[in-house]
């Protein structure tokens, strides 16, 4: 399976938090408090960085991708 890392639906946790208007630690703390809210395969830690998908952020926040509101 080929994964496109240039896809806008994959981002680091700080970028995701900024896009959704949350604090920079939002993703990490949300995952620590309630990992079951994240769909399987939608979050992963690489070294010290967390990488999440749009799907994860929409599931955890209940807010659709704010970038798509401007289309």
Query: Mean pLDDT, 10 residues at a time, over the chain (71 residues)?
Result: 90 97 97 97 96 97 89 55
The pTM of this model reads: 0.90
pLDDT at residue 1 in the model: 84
pLDDT of residue 71: 55
**pLDDT of res. 3:** 84
pLDDT at 70 (0 to 100): 61
pLDDT attached to residue 44: 97
**Domain range list for the chain:** 10-64
Q: Which residues of 34-53 are buried (b: 16+ CB within 10 A; e: fewer)?
A: eeeebeeebbeeeeeebbbb
């Amino acid at each position: 399976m080929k994964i496109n890392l240039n896809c806008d639906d994959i981002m680091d946790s700080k970028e995701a938090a900024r896009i959704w208007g949350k604090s920079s630690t939002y993703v990490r703390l949300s995952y620590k408090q309630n990992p079951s809210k994240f769909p399987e395969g939608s979050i992963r830690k690489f070294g010290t960085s967390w990488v999440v998908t749009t799907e994860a952020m929409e599931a955890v926040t209940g807010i659709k991708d704010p970038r798509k509101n401007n289309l």
